[in-house]
Amino acid sequence: MRYISTRGEAAPRGFEDVLLAGLAEDGGLFLPESWPSLGAAEWRALRGLPYAELAARLIHPFTGGALSLEDLQGLTRAAYAGFRHPATVPLVQLGPRDFALELFHGPTLAFKDVALQLLGRLFDHVLAKRGERITIVGATSGDTGSAAIEACRDRAAVDIVILHPRGRTSEVQRRQMTTVLAPNVANLAIEGSFDDCQDLVKAMFVDAPFRAEMRLAAVNSINWARIVAQIPYYAAAALALGAPEREVAVSVPTGNFGNVLAAWAARRMGLPIARFIVASNRNDILARFLAANDMSVRPVEPSLSPSMDIQVSSNFERLLFELLGRDAAATARIMRDFRATGRMPVPDAAWRAASADFAGFALDDDATLAEIARWHAEAGYLADPHTAVGLAAARAHAPADPGIPVVTAATAHPAKFPDAVERATGLRPPLPPALADLYAREERLAVLPNDLAAVQGFVRAHALRNAA
C-alpha cells in the first residue's frame, strides 16, 4: 500500500511516512494509491467482533505491511481499553429507524478520541523503531485539541503545540486542553477564527526548512491515519444493523469533512452506505455546495456547535480528487483558485456526482436548541448541540425507503456543552467522575496574534527546550 498526494507533486510513500508527514510537501493530502475492498462474506465474518479487533482488521490493509496484524491488535486494544463503555462506540436506538452512534466515551468526551488514542500509540510505535523525535502542531475548533493532547501527553519522543481560536470554544473544551500541564504540551490561543488557526498550521507545513527543522507531524484530519482510524466505527454500526445484506444511511455533523469522509471510505471498501448526510450549523459552506455548487467562503460565525465553526473544509480536497477522476493537476488548480478567490470552481459533473451521494443540511442556534429539547422530550435522550444538528439532518434527509436505518454520529458528550443543554432542557449534564474537578484545575496557555512568525517562534522554543 502506497500513498499519493491529491496535488500530484509529492513522491508516493508508505504508511509510516504518511503517518509522520501529515500534509504532503506540495500542499496536498495523502490518499491510498488503490482502495482495499472486502466482499460480502468478508464483511459477514467481522460481525460480533470486539471493537478493538474489528478496528485492527479494517485498518491493517491500509498499513501495507508496515505493522503486523498482531502489533496493530495490541495497539487497538490499548487504545480502547480506557473507554468508559464496554462497546467502545455503542449504538443507541432513538426511534423506529433513528440510531445514535455514541463516539464520546473516550477520555475527552468527543469522537476525536477514537482516532487519536490510536494515533498516539502509532506515533510511539514508529518513532521507537526509527529512533526519531517529532513536533506535532495542530489546529482545533474545540475537540481535536484536547483529544490530541490527551493522546500525546508525556510521550518521550513527541512535543505537541495546539492552536485554538481565542474565546471560540466552550469552557469545557478549553480547559480540557489548557489544564494538561505535561512538559511536552503547549497551548496557543490565537486571536482569530479556526480557519486562521488551520491556515497557520498549513503554512508551517509548507515552509520546508521549518518543517524539516522541527520534524513536524500532524494530528488534524489532514493526517490520513486520522481518517482510516475512523472507518471502523461506521462498519461497527452498519454490521450491527444487518450489513452487508442491509443498507444504512449516515448523518454526520462535520465542519472539516473528515468524519463523513471516513464513512465514504468505508463504502469504498464495500460497506453498503446508501446516503451521506452532511450536517452543518450556520457556517453552512458544505450545505451550500451540495445544494447549489456554491463553495464560497464567508466569515466564520460563532455558534452553539463550535466544532463546526469552519468555512474551509480541508478534507473536501480528498473527495474532490476522487470526483475529478484522480486528476491531480485539476485538483491543484481548483485548490489554488479557492485559496486566491475564496470560491471553489467545482466542475458541474463533479458537483452532480457529489450531490448524488451527499445531502447537505444546516441548522441555526435556535433550531439546535429546539432539537435538543425535542429528543429529550420524545426519547429521553440528551444530545449535545453537534449531535442535535446531526439528528435534525437525519430526519430531513432520511432515505425514502423506511427499511434503511439512519445512523447519526453522536460526536460529543452533552457535558461538554452544559450551557446549551441546560437552556434547551433545564438539565445541566454533569461531567464524568474523571473530569469532575476540571473547573478547579490550573490552566496554562499563551495568547498570540494571527501571525505566522510569532507562532513559529513559539513552536521552535517549545520543541528545542524539550529536546535539550
Is 446 exposed, middle or buried (CB count within 10 Å of its CB: 0-12, 13-18, 19+)? middle
Q: What are the φ/ψ torsions at residue 19 (nearest 5 degrees)?
A: -55, -45
Q: Is the pTM value of this prediction over 0.85?
A: yes
Q: Note whether 220 and 468 are within 8 A (CB).
A: no
Chain centroid to Cα 18, Å, comes to 17
Question: For the segment 447-462, what is each residue's pLDDT rounded down to a tens digit?
Answer: 999 999 999 999 999 9
Residue 149 within any structural domain of the chain: no
Q: What CATH number does the domain containing 397 carry?
A: 3.40.50.1100
- Cα separation of 310 and 40, whole Å? 37
Strand partners, 278: 252, 360
- Cα separation of 376 and 59, whole Å? 36
Catalytic-residue membership of 202: no
Q: Average pLDDT for residues 377-382, to the nearest whole number?
A: 97
> Total domain count for the chain?
1
Q: Of 112, 129, 202, 416, which is the active-site residue?
A: 112
Residue 75 within any structural domain of the chain: no
C-alpha cell at 328: 491531480
Residue 309 within any structural domain of the chain: yes
Residue 420 within any structural domain of the chain: yes
**Residue numbers of the domain that contains 346:** 91-109+226-425
Q: Note whether 76 and 52 are within 8 A (CB).
A: yes
pLDDT of residue 337: 96
Residue 205 within any structural domain of the chain: no
Residue 403 within any structural domain of the chain: yes
Question: For the segment 411-449, what is each residue's pLDDT rounded down to a tens digit?
Answer: 999 999 999 999 999 999 999 998 999 999 999 999 999
Residue 343 within any structural domain of the chain: yes
pLDDT of residue 22: 86
pLDDT of residue 467: 63
Residue type, 421: V
